Amino acid sequence: MRIARFSVDDEPKYGIVETDDPLGLDGTVAVLDSDPLYRPVQLTGERLQLADVRLLAPVIPRSKVVCVGRNYAAHAAELGNDVPTEPMIFLKPNTSVIGPRDGIVYPEQTNDVHFEGELAIVIGRICRDVPKERVDEVIFGYTVANDVTARDLQKSDGQWARAKGFDTFCPLGPWISTGVDVSDLRVTTTLNGEVKQDGRTSQFIFDIPEVLAYITSFTTLLPGDVVLTGTPAGVGPMLPGDEVAVSIEGIGTLTNKVITRD
Protein backbone atom coordinates (compact mmCIF):
# COMPACT_ATOMS: atom_id res chain seq x y z
CA MET A 1 0.00 0.00 0.00
CA ARG A 2 1.23 3.51 -0.88
CA ILE A 3 0.13 6.21 1.55
CA ALA A 4 0.54 9.83 0.49
CA ARG A 5 0.17 13.16 2.18
CA PHE A 6 -1.09 15.73 -0.29
CA SER A 7 -2.88 19.02 -0.60
CA VAL A 8 -5.77 20.39 -2.60
CA ASP A 9 -6.36 24.12 -2.22
CA ASP A 10 -3.68 24.18 0.51
CA GLU A 11 -5.55 21.72 2.74
CA PRO A 12 -3.32 18.74 3.73
CA LYS A 13 -4.97 15.34 3.39
CA TYR A 14 -3.95 11.68 3.36
CA GLY A 15 -4.77 9.04 0.81
CA ILE A 16 -3.95 5.67 -0.71
CA VAL A 17 -2.21 6.02 -4.06
CA GLU A 18 -3.01 3.74 -6.99
CA THR A 19 -0.48 4.19 -9.78
CA ASP A 20 2.09 2.44 -11.92
CA ASP A 21 4.08 5.67 -12.25
CA PRO A 22 6.97 5.89 -9.72
CA LEU A 23 6.91 9.68 -10.06
CA GLY A 24 3.28 9.89 -9.04
CA LEU A 25 2.29 11.98 -12.03
CA ASP A 26 -0.44 9.62 -13.22
CA GLY A 27 -2.98 7.62 -11.24
CA THR A 28 -5.50 8.20 -8.48
CA VAL A 29 -5.56 8.77 -4.74
CA ALA A 30 -8.34 7.44 -2.50
CA VAL A 31 -8.80 9.99 0.30
CA LEU A 32 -8.53 8.92 3.96
CA ASP A 33 -10.38 10.54 6.83
CA SER A 34 -7.24 11.12 8.95
CA ASP A 35 -3.52 10.45 9.37
CA PRO A 36 -3.13 6.64 9.23
CA LEU A 37 -0.14 6.80 11.58
CA TYR A 38 -2.52 7.55 14.43
CA ARG A 39 -5.86 6.03 13.37
CA PRO A 40 -6.87 2.92 11.41
CA VAL A 41 -7.21 3.43 7.67
CA GLN A 42 -10.70 4.66 6.82
CA LEU A 43 -11.66 5.74 3.30
CA THR A 44 -13.96 8.73 2.81
CA GLY A 45 -15.15 7.54 -0.59
CA GLU A 46 -13.59 10.53 -2.35
CA ARG A 47 -11.16 9.74 -5.16
CA LEU A 48 -8.90 12.28 -6.89
CA GLN A 49 -6.55 12.27 -9.85
CA LEU A 50 -2.91 12.50 -8.85
CA ALA A 51 -2.44 15.13 -11.53
CA ASP A 52 -4.87 17.36 -9.60
CA VAL A 53 -3.12 17.21 -6.21
CA ARG A 54 0.21 18.36 -4.83
CA LEU A 55 2.20 15.61 -3.13
CA LEU A 56 3.72 16.75 0.18
CA ALA A 57 6.37 15.19 2.38
CA PRO A 58 4.59 11.95 3.36
CA VAL A 59 5.40 12.51 7.03
CA ILE A 60 6.60 15.40 9.18
CA PRO A 61 8.55 13.72 11.99
CA ARG A 62 7.08 14.50 15.38
CA SER A 63 10.48 14.85 16.98
CA LYS A 64 13.47 13.87 14.83
CA VAL A 65 15.13 12.39 11.79
CA VAL A 66 17.77 9.87 12.85
CA CYS A 67 20.45 9.09 10.27
CA VAL A 68 23.08 6.41 9.79
CA GLY A 69 26.40 7.61 8.39
CA ARG A 70 28.82 5.56 6.28
CA ASN A 71 26.55 2.52 6.04
CA TYR A 72 27.98 1.49 2.65
CA ALA A 73 31.65 0.49 2.56
CA ALA A 74 32.18 2.03 -0.89
CA HIS A 75 30.77 5.37 0.27
CA ALA A 76 33.07 5.41 3.30
CA ALA A 77 36.00 4.67 1.01
CA GLU A 78 35.16 7.39 -1.53
CA LEU A 79 35.38 10.02 1.21
CA GLY A 80 38.56 8.52 2.66
CA ASN A 81 36.90 7.25 5.84
CA ASP A 82 37.21 3.97 7.68
CA VAL A 83 34.27 1.58 7.80
CA PRO A 84 32.60 2.07 11.21
CA THR A 85 32.54 -0.81 13.69
CA GLU A 86 29.07 0.18 14.95
CA PRO A 87 26.36 2.38 13.46
CA MET A 88 27.39 6.04 13.16
CA ILE A 89 24.35 8.09 14.19
CA PHE A 90 23.50 11.75 13.69
CA LEU A 91 20.31 13.81 13.66
CA LYS A 92 18.59 16.14 11.22
CA PRO A 93 15.93 18.54 12.53
CA ASN A 94 12.36 18.01 11.42
CA THR A 95 12.47 21.54 9.96
CA SER A 96 14.81 20.21 7.26
CA VAL A 97 12.01 18.07 5.77
CA ILE A 98 10.47 19.00 2.41
CA GLY A 99 8.41 17.04 -0.09
CA PRO A 100 8.52 15.99 -3.73
CA ARG A 101 9.18 18.82 -6.22
CA ASP A 102 9.95 21.25 -3.39
CA GLY A 103 13.13 23.28 -3.84
CA ILE A 104 16.39 22.42 -2.09
CA VAL A 105 17.71 25.83 -1.08
CA TYR A 106 21.44 26.30 -1.66
CA PRO A 107 22.72 28.15 1.47
CA GLU A 108 25.02 31.12 1.12
CA GLN A 109 27.33 29.67 3.80
CA THR A 110 28.51 26.79 1.59
CA ASN A 111 30.11 26.16 -1.78
CA ASP A 112 29.78 22.36 -1.85
CA VAL A 113 26.26 20.92 -1.47
CA HIS A 114 25.99 17.18 -2.17
CA PHE A 115 23.12 14.75 -2.83
CA GLU A 116 22.87 11.47 -0.89
CA GLY A 117 20.05 9.16 -1.96
CA GLU A 118 18.77 6.85 0.78
CA LEU A 119 16.07 4.46 1.91
CA ALA A 120 14.11 5.93 4.83
CA ILE A 121 12.17 4.10 7.54
CA VAL A 122 8.99 5.62 8.98
CA ILE A 123 8.39 4.58 12.60
CA GLY A 124 4.85 3.54 13.47
CA ARG A 125 4.81 3.27 17.27
CA ILE A 126 6.60 4.47 20.39
CA CYS A 127 9.54 2.17 20.94
CA ARG A 128 12.67 1.75 23.04
CA ASP A 129 15.12 -1.18 23.37
CA VAL A 130 13.68 -3.04 20.40
CA PRO A 131 15.31 -6.45 19.83
CA LYS A 132 16.46 -7.20 16.29
CA GLU A 133 13.89 -9.93 15.81
CA ARG A 134 11.00 -7.52 16.56
CA VAL A 135 11.90 -4.42 14.53
CA ASP A 136 9.17 -5.16 11.97
CA GLU A 137 6.64 -4.44 14.71
CA VAL A 138 7.68 -0.79 14.98
CA ILE A 139 8.03 0.03 11.26
CA PHE A 140 5.06 1.73 9.62
CA GLY A 141 6.61 1.77 6.15
CA TYR A 142 9.37 3.09 3.93
CA THR A 143 9.96 6.14 1.77
CA VAL A 144 12.73 7.74 -0.28
CA ALA A 145 15.10 10.35 1.15
CA ASN A 146 17.87 12.69 0.07
CA ASP A 147 20.31 13.41 2.90
CA VAL A 148 21.49 16.75 1.49
CA THR A 149 24.88 17.71 2.90
CA ALA A 150 27.07 20.81 2.83
CA ARG A 151 30.28 18.84 2.46
CA ASP A 152 32.65 21.75 3.14
CA LEU A 153 30.86 22.62 6.38
CA GLN A 154 30.82 18.97 7.40
CA LYS A 155 34.61 19.01 7.19
CA SER A 156 35.22 22.43 8.73
CA ASP A 157 32.73 22.18 11.61
CA GLY A 158 33.96 18.81 12.89
CA GLN A 159 30.38 17.81 13.66
CA TRP A 160 27.45 17.54 11.28
CA ALA A 161 24.54 19.49 12.73
CA ARG A 162 24.88 22.52 10.46
CA ALA A 163 26.08 20.67 7.37
CA LYS A 164 23.13 18.27 7.48
CA GLY A 165 20.51 20.43 9.15
CA PHE A 166 19.73 23.40 6.92
CA ASP A 167 16.08 23.96 6.07
CA THR A 168 15.17 21.88 2.96
CA PHE A 169 18.09 19.44 3.50
CA CYS A 170 15.84 16.39 4.02
CA PRO A 171 13.55 15.79 1.03
CA LEU A 172 11.17 12.85 1.61
CA GLY A 173 8.65 11.20 -0.70
CA PRO A 174 6.81 10.61 -2.85
CA TRP A 175 4.78 8.47 -0.41
CA ILE A 176 5.14 5.80 2.27
CA SER A 177 5.11 2.22 1.02
CA THR A 178 4.01 -0.50 3.43
CA GLY A 179 4.54 -4.26 3.21
CA VAL A 180 7.74 -3.91 1.17
CA ASP A 181 10.67 -6.33 1.40
CA VAL A 182 13.59 -3.90 1.52
CA SER A 183 16.39 -6.43 1.97
CA ASP A 184 17.70 -6.05 -1.59
CA LEU A 185 16.33 -2.99 -3.40
CA ARG A 186 18.16 -0.92 -5.99
CA VAL A 187 18.87 2.68 -4.93
CA THR A 188 19.81 5.14 -7.68
CA THR A 189 20.34 8.88 -7.84
CA THR A 190 20.38 10.91 -11.03
CA LEU A 191 21.55 14.49 -11.51
CA ASN A 192 19.93 16.14 -14.53
CA GLY A 193 19.12 12.67 -15.82
CA GLU A 194 22.64 11.24 -15.44
CA VAL A 195 23.05 8.30 -13.03
CA LYS A 196 25.42 9.21 -10.20
CA GLN A 197 24.62 6.63 -7.51
CA ASP A 198 23.68 3.01 -8.07
CA GLY A 199 23.64 0.68 -5.08
CA ARG A 200 21.51 -1.89 -3.31
CA THR A 201 20.17 -2.12 0.23
CA SER A 202 21.77 -5.57 0.49
CA GLN A 203 25.11 -3.69 0.63
CA PHE A 204 24.34 -2.13 4.02
CA ILE A 205 27.12 -2.58 6.56
CA PHE A 206 24.46 -2.59 9.28
CA ASP A 207 21.07 -3.92 8.22
CA ILE A 208 17.77 -2.48 9.37
CA PRO A 209 17.33 -4.77 12.42
CA GLU A 210 20.83 -3.83 13.61
CA VAL A 211 20.23 -0.14 13.00
CA LEU A 212 16.89 0.08 14.82
CA ALA A 213 18.06 -2.07 17.72
CA TYR A 214 21.10 0.20 18.10
CA ILE A 215 19.16 3.48 17.88
CA THR A 216 16.47 2.39 20.32
CA SER A 217 19.11 1.24 22.79
CA PHE A 218 19.75 4.91 23.62
CA THR A 219 16.71 6.93 22.49
CA THR A 220 12.97 6.53 22.22
CA LEU A 221 11.50 6.67 18.73
CA LEU A 222 8.03 8.16 18.27
CA PRO A 223 5.36 7.52 15.62
CA GLY A 224 6.32 9.50 12.55
CA ASP A 225 10.02 9.67 13.35
CA VAL A 226 12.15 8.88 10.31
CA VAL A 227 15.37 6.88 10.10
CA LEU A 228 17.69 7.38 7.12
CA THR A 229 19.72 4.23 6.46
CA GLY A 230 22.82 5.49 4.63
CA THR A 231 23.84 6.29 1.07
CA PRO A 232 25.65 4.30 -1.63
CA ALA A 233 28.86 5.48 -3.29
CA GLY A 234 28.70 8.17 -5.93
CA VAL A 235 27.74 11.23 -3.89
CA GLY A 236 28.62 14.52 -5.49
CA PRO A 237 27.90 18.22 -5.83
CA MET A 238 24.77 19.87 -7.17
CA LEU A 239 24.17 23.49 -8.06
CA PRO A 240 21.20 25.84 -8.36
CA GLY A 241 19.21 24.83 -11.41
CA ASP A 242 20.11 21.15 -11.12
CA GLU A 243 17.42 18.49 -10.73
CA VAL A 244 18.18 15.51 -8.51
CA ALA A 245 16.04 12.36 -8.47
CA VAL A 246 16.39 9.47 -6.01
CA SER A 247 14.69 6.21 -7.00
CA ILE A 248 14.19 3.05 -4.95
CA GLU A 249 12.67 0.09 -6.75
CA GLY A 250 9.34 -0.99 -5.36
CA ILE A 251 8.83 2.37 -3.63
CA GLY A 252 9.10 5.33 -6.00
CA THR A 253 11.09 8.34 -7.16
CA LEU A 254 11.75 11.54 -5.23
CA THR A 255 12.59 14.54 -7.41
CA ASN A 256 13.72 17.99 -6.30
CA LYS A 257 15.33 21.00 -7.93
CA VAL A 258 18.15 23.01 -6.37
CA ILE A 259 17.27 26.69 -6.00
CA THR A 260 18.73 29.86 -4.54
CA ARG A 261 17.19 31.66 -1.61
CA ASP A 262 15.52 34.81 -2.92
pLDDT at 232: 97
Q: What is the DSSP letter of 229?
A: -
First to last CA, the chain: 38
List % helix, strand, coil for the chain (3-state, nearest 5). Answer: 15, 40, 40
pTM of the full structure? 0.97
Q: Which residues touch 168 (CB under 8 Å, ≥6 apart)?
A: 96, 98, 102, 103, 104, 105, 148
pLDDT at 204: 97
pLDDT at 108: 97
The list of the chain residues with pLDDT below 70 reads none
| pLDDT tens digits, 62-119 | 899 999 999 999 998 998 889 999 999 999 999 999 999 999 999 999 999 999 999 9
Is residue 176 a contact partner of residue 2, using CB atoms and an 8 Å limit? yes
pLDDT at 246: 98
> Nearest-5° angle of CA 145, CA 146, CA 147?
110
